[in-house]
Structure 1
Amino acid sequence: MNQKYHALIQYVHDGKSCRQIARDVGINRDTVRKYVNDYDHKRHLLIEGGKEIDVQALIESLTEKPTYQTGSRSKRKVTSTVEERIKGFLKENQTKRHQGQRKQQKTMMDMYEALMGERMDISYSTVRRTVRRLEHRPQEAFVKEMYQPGDICEFDWGEVKVTIDARLQVFQMAVFTSAYGNYRWACLFPKQTTECFQEAHARFFNHIGGVYATVVYDNMKVAVKRFVGKEKEPTQGLMELMLYYGFHHRFCNVRRGNEKGHVERSVDMVRRKAFAMRDTFESLEEANLYLQSVCDENLNQRKFAIYEGQTPFERLEEEHPVLFPAPPKWDAALVHYLRADKYATVIVDQNRYSVPDHLVGEIIMVKVYAERIHCFYNEEVVAEHERLSGQHRWNLQLPHVLDTLQKKPGALAGSLALHQANQKLKTIYWTYYNGKEKDFIALCHYLQDETLDNVLESIDQLHAIHPKHVTTDKIKVLNAKKNQENISQPIAVSDDTEAITFQARHQMKRYDQLLHQTASKGGVSS
C-alpha cells in the first residue's frame, strides 16, 4: 500500500514516467503502469461520470489496498500423492474419534513427521494449511446469556502453592462466582476430597446467608460419579448437599469451560490478586482470612460498567431477597472406623494421626473434616488434630505416648512426638531435663492437669535460685502453694452463707472439745 501511494504521488505531482517511478520506488514497471492506468480510468469516471456511476464505490477503489491473484497458482509441494496421504491421516483420526480413541489421534506435527519419514519434500506450514483446508471445520458460535438474581452460581477448583509454617505446600482453592453479579468467594483446602467439597459449599452458603437455585460444575470427580451415555450421574456427596440445601445442579459439557466462564476467570483472578502479593503464612487459617479479605475488600468492591457502576457486593444485596433460606451449617465430615496401629496412630489419606497409646489395636471412629480430624472411642473424643496436607506425614501429640515413654524413657530424646511438641515444652526438656527423662515424663503427666504458663512461672522462680533446683517435685510444690494461697483469699459471701459457716465452725469446735475430753480420760485409765 505504501509503494502504491508513492508511485501514484510521483505520477500525479511530479509527472514522472513509469520507468523512472519503478526505478525510484523499487517495483516492477508493469506494476507501476497498472496502478497508473487504473488510477486514470477511475478518476476520469469519477469526474466525468453520470448518475449511473457509484461515486462511493469509486472513492473506495481509488484508496484500496492492492490485491494479487494467487488462487490460480499451482501448488508445487502439495502434490496429489501428498494430499491423498493427508486425507488418509484425517480419515484415521475420524475412525479413532468414533472408537473413543480421541487422545490417540495424529496431530499436524505427527502428520508432517510421517510425511518426512516417507521422504516427501514438504514444510510443516504447508501441511498445516492443507489440513485446515481439507477438514473444513466450522467456527463455533456462542450465545450470550441473561441471568436472573439468585438463579445461578458457578463452582470450580484451582491449585495454589503457598508457604505455611515455613513449608511450601500445595492447596486446592475452592471458588464460587455468582452469574448475576460476579460476586466471588474463595477458600483454601488441603485436598480435592468429598469432605472439602462439602465444607466449601457449607461455608459459602453460610457466608452469603442464602442458597442459589442452581450451581454449575465441570466434570470434576467429587461431583460426577460416572457417565451414563451422554448424561452424568452426581456423586453421593453432591446428592447429600442438594438434598440438604435444596439447589439444582448442572454439569458443563466436556472441555467446555466457557459454559461456566465466570468462575473460570475468577480462579485465575483470585489466585493472582491474592497470592501474587503474598504467599507466606503461619497457618492455613491465616491464609484463608487473608484470602477472604482480598475477595471482600478488593474484588467484590470494584465497580463494573456492565452493571451500571454497581459492585458485586451491591449486586449480591439485590439477590438476597430471592435466595433460598440457608439451613444451619452442614456438618461436612466423613466417618471412618479405623484400627489404631502399633504406633498408636490412625491413617487418613496416607497421613498418620496419634491417639492415646492404650488404644493400640482398638477400633477408633474418625470424623474427617476439611481441616481437622476428630477421633472417638466409646463415644468420647480421645484426639483432635489439624488435618495434614500432602502424604506420608505424621501428626503426633506427646501426651498420647506418655505411657509408652514411661516404659521406654530412653526413646524420648529421639522421638517424633517430642520433635512435634510445643516449642516451650521442648525448651524445658533440653534446658533442664536432658538426661532426666523419667522426671520430664512425670512433668508431662502433671501438665495434663496444670497449665503450661503456671509451670513456666514456677520454673522461672526455681531457676532464679539455681538451675539445678528445677525438678518436677519442686514445680508441683510451688504450684500447690500458689493454688492454696488463691483458695485462702477472702471471698465475698451472702448473709445466709455467713450464718451457715458460723454454725459449721461452732459444731466443729464442739466436736474438737469432745475428742480432747475422750482422749484425756483414756490416758488417765491407762
Structure 2
Amino acid sequence: MKTMVERQSIIHMYRVCGYSKRRISRELHVSRHTVDNILSEYESAIRTDNPEEALSDLLTIQPRYDSSRRRPRRLTQEIKDKIGFCLKKNAVKIATGLRKQRMLKKDIHQFLLSQGYTISYATVCSYIKNIESYKEKKKSEAFIRLFYEPGCIAEFDWGEVLLFIDGVKTKFYLAVFTFGHSNGRYAYLFRHQNTLAFMESHRNFFRDIHGVPAMMVYDNMRVAVKSFVGGDKKPTEALMKMSGFYCFEYRFCNVRAGWEKGHVERSVEYVRRKAFCLTDHFGDIHSAQEHLNRVCMQVNNEQGSLSTAEKTSRLEADLSSLKPFPGNLGCFEVYEYIVDKWSTISMKNVHYSVPD
C-alpha cells in the first residue's frame, strides 16, 4: 500500500510535470499497476459532480485496506477454547503462587500441536495479545552467544519451584547445572538452599555425568562466596573442599551481572517450565525427581531448531572431555557445641538432647 505522500507525488508528476505512467513508475521505483490504480482513482475523482471535493479527499485521506471481512482460517472456535483453557490454568497458577511455572505462548502452541491442531505460532501469539487480561509489558534485552571448548565450563544456579506433594503445596529449591559448550542441562530438587544441598547437588551432578568439568561458574550466592574483600571474593570452605576433591577451578560473576553465566540463567526458567508447567502434583519428592530427570533427558536430546542442532553430539563431546571422576564426596558439616545445664545443645535454634 502506498502512503499519502507517495500518492500525491504520483498525481503531481502526472498532472503538473506531464510524465507518462511508465516514467513515473521508473522514477519512483513503484509498480506500473500501482501507478495505473492511483491515476485511475484520480481520473474518476475529476469526473464527479464535485471534482474539487473528491480530489481533496483523494489527496488528504490516508489510504487503508478494508480488513473488516478478514477472518483467521486456522483459528477455529475449538482452538480458541483450548487456548482459553490454558490461560485459565495460568491464572490459577498465578493465584496460587506458581507464576514461574505458567505456560508461555510457545508452550501453548506446542500443546495445540500435540493435540493434532495445525496452527502457526504467530497466530497463537496474535490471538493471545488481543486478550486484554493477558497483556504484559516486557523489556527488550540483547544477548551475545559465547562458545566454549567441550568439557571446559559448567554453570550453576539456584531456582525456586512450588510443587504439590501428596496434596500439600511445598516449596523446593532447584539446583541446575548447564554445560557451556552443549547447553546440556541437569537439575536436582532440594528442600533447603544450604551448604549441604550445595555439596550434594555437585556430588550428584558429577556422579551422573561420570566426570568433572574444568571450571565451574557461580554468581555471588552465600553457599559459594563467604565474604567480599575489596574487589576479591573469598570462597566458602565447602567450595574449596569440593574444588580440592574434584580438582576443578571456579569463577565468580560480577555483582548484578547474571549474563556472565547466561546459559544457566535461562536454564533455570527453561527446566522449571518444561518440567512443571503441566505436571506439578506428586506423591513424594522421589517421584518428582524422577520426573525431573526424564524431562532433562528429553531436553538434552531434543532437536528441531538452529539452537538445538547437533545438541546430542555436542553433549557427547562435553562428556568425553571431562576430567576423571574421583568418587563421591562426603556431604556433611562438622560443628562443636556446648552442652547446657539441661543436657541439650542448641543447633539452629533447635534443642537436641545428648546422652549422659
Give me the TM-score of the superposition, normalised by structure 2: 0.61
Q: Shift of residue 321 of structure 1?
A: 3.0
8 Å contact from structure 1 (residues 158, 172) kept in 2: yes
Distance 1:317 1:345, change over 3 A: farther
Match of residue 318 from structure 2: 319
Distance 1:350 1:266, change over 3 A: farther
Instruction: Report SS of the residue matched to 1:188.
Output: strand
Pairing of 1:26-425 with structure 2 (within 5 A): 26=60, 144-296=145-297, 298-303=298-303, 305-306=305-306, 309-312=309-312, 314-336=313-335, 349=348, 360-362=353-355
8 Å contact from structure 2 (residues 156, 178) kept in 1: yes
8 Å contact from structure 1 (residues 175, 186) kept in 2: yes
Q: Shift of residue 22 of structure 1?
A: 3.8
8 Å contact from structure 1 (residues 186, 295) kept in 2: yes
Match of residue 115 from structure 2: none
Distance in structure 1 (CA, Å) of the matches to 2:268 and 2:243: 23
> Equivalent pairs: percent with the same residue?
40
8 Å contact from structure 1 (residues 157, 175) kept in 2: yes
Distance in structure 2 (CA, Å) of the matches to 1:146 and 1:212: 15
Q: Shift of residue 184 of structure 1?
A: 0.4
Distance 1:289 1:222, change over 3 A: same
8 Å contact from structure 2 (residues 300, 311) kept in 1: yes
The one-letter code matched in structure 1 to 2:277 is A
Deviations 1:238-279 (A, max 9, x none): 111101101011111111111111111110010011111111
The one-letter code matched in structure 1 to 2:160 is E
Higher normalized helix content (fraction of residues): 1
Instruction: Report SS of the residue matched to 2:157.
Output: strand
Distance 1:301 1:336, change over 3 A: same
8 Å contact from structure 1 (residues 341, 361) kept in 2: no
The one-letter code matched in structure 2 to 1:362 is P
Distance 1:143 1:290, change over 3 A: closer
Distance in structure 2 (CA, Å) of the matches to 1:276 and 1:144: 27
Instruction: Report SS of the residue matched to 1:267.
Output: helix
The one-letter code matched in structure 1 to 2:60 is G
RCO greater where, 1 or 2, for CA within 8 Å and sep 6 or more?
2
Alpha-carbon RMSD across the aligned residues, in angstroms, is 3.3
8 Å contact from structure 1 (residues 304, 310) kept in 2: no
Q: Shift of residue 289 of structure 1?
A: 1.2
Distance 1:361 1:243, change over 3 A: closer
Q: Shift of residue 344 of structure 1?
A: 10
Q: Shift of residue 146 of structure 1?
A: 2.4
Q: Shift of residue 281 of structure 1?
A: 1.4
8 Å contact from structure 2 (residues 163, 171) kept in 1: yes
Distance in structure 1 (CA, Å) of the matches to 2:143 and 2:244: 33
Match of residue 35 from structure 2: none
Match of residue 101 from structure 2: none
Distance 1:277 1:339, change over 3 A: farther
Q: Shift of residue 233 of structure 1?
A: 1.4
Distance in structure 2 (CA, Å) of the matches to 1:286 and 1:6: 67
Instruction: Report SS of the residue matched to 2:158.
Output: strand
Deviations 1:264-321 (A, max 9, x none): 111001001111111111211221111111111x201112654783234x32222233
Match of residue 523 from structure 1: none
Aligned residues: 245
Distance in structure 1 (CA, Å) of the matches to 2:321 and 2:339: 49
Give me the TM-score of the superposition, normalised by structure 1: 0.42
The one-letter code matched in structure 2 to 1:323 is L
The one-letter code matched in structure 2 to 1:145 is L
Distance in structure 1 (CA, Å) of the matches to 2:258 and 2:192: 22
Q: Is there any run of 5+ residues in structure 1 with no aligned partner, and where?
A: 29-139, 354-359, 364-526
Match of residue 84 from structure 1: none
Distance 1:277 1:342, change over 3 A: farther
Distance in structure 2 (CA, Å) of the matches to 1:349 and 1:21: 85
Distance 1:351 1:317, change over 3 A: farther
Larger C-alpha radius of gyration, 1 or 2? 1
8 Å contact from structure 2 (residues 147, 180) kept in 1: no
The one-letter code matched in structure 2 to 1:290 is H
Instruction: Report SS of the residue matched to 1:334.
Output: coil
Distance 1:144 1:269, change over 3 A: closer
Instruction: Report SS of the residue matched to 2:176.
Output: strand
